């Protein structure tokens, strides 16, 4: 029988935990500490400071999937739209066993800051599914992707939230996401 798992050469493996110092355990708190310092240095207006300390929306979805064995597993999916004041949110979707709400919120905030710093008309977002794609068949990975997309489809769109690949996702995963999105909204 052929190995139907995602090829390891198609997966990104960045050192995703390098942004935390040894004394920092929570990625969102670490990001907020840096934001607080930057806001202080910039003498950020108090109202804007309050707005930028909080994500606009964080969605957590349950993703029940029939595995190849016939067993049902329930995965957790997250999508955080941090800020859209500069334009539609943009940000990657990662599949990793260590994804957390705090990590996704921190990365969505960082995407917001990155877009603002280079003056492009996008806000920040990030998403993730708590799973290990290296142990999943292509069919299982497709089912997880499509169920996750169905769970967040109301936030997605070219004028609201533009997803992209990230850790352990690739063009195939994005094609499944786009196909599912198209089926739900009625266009490609």
Catalogue the active-site residues. 126
How far apart, in whole angstroms, are the C-alpha atoms of residue 28 and residue 22?
Answer: 15
Q: Which two tokens stand for residue 154?
A: 């109301």
Q: Which two tokens stand for residue 60?
A: 């957590």
Check if the beta carbon of residue 128 is closer than 8 Å to that of residue 111. no
Q: Which residues of 116-150 are buried (b: 16+ CB within 10 A; e: fewer)?
A: beeeeebbbbbbbbbbebbebbbebbbbbbbbbbb
């Amino acid at each position: 029988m052929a190995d139907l798992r995602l090829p390891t050469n198609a997966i990104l493996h960045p050192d995703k935990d390098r942004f935390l110092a040894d004394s920092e355990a929570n990625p969102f708190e670490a990001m907020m500490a840096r934001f607080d310092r930057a806001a202080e240095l910039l003498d950020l207006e108090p109202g804007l400071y309050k707005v930028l300390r909080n994500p606009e929306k964080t969605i957590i979805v349950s993703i029940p999937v029939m595995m190849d064995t016939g067993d049902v597993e329930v995965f957790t999916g997250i999508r955080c739209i941090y800020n859209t004041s500069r334009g539609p949110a943009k940000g990657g979707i990662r599949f990793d066993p260590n994804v957390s709400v705090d990590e996704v919120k921190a990365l969505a905030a960082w995407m917001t800051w990155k877009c603002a710093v280079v003056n492009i008309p996008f806000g920040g977002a990030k998403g993730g599914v708590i799973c290990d794609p290296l142990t999943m068949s292509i069919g299982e990975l497709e089912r997880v992707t499509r169920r996750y997309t169905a769970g967040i489809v109301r936030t997605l769109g070219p004028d609201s939230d533009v997803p992209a690949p990230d850790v352990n996702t690739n063009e195939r995963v994005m094609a499944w996401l786009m196909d599912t999105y198209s089926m739900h909204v009625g266009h490609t």
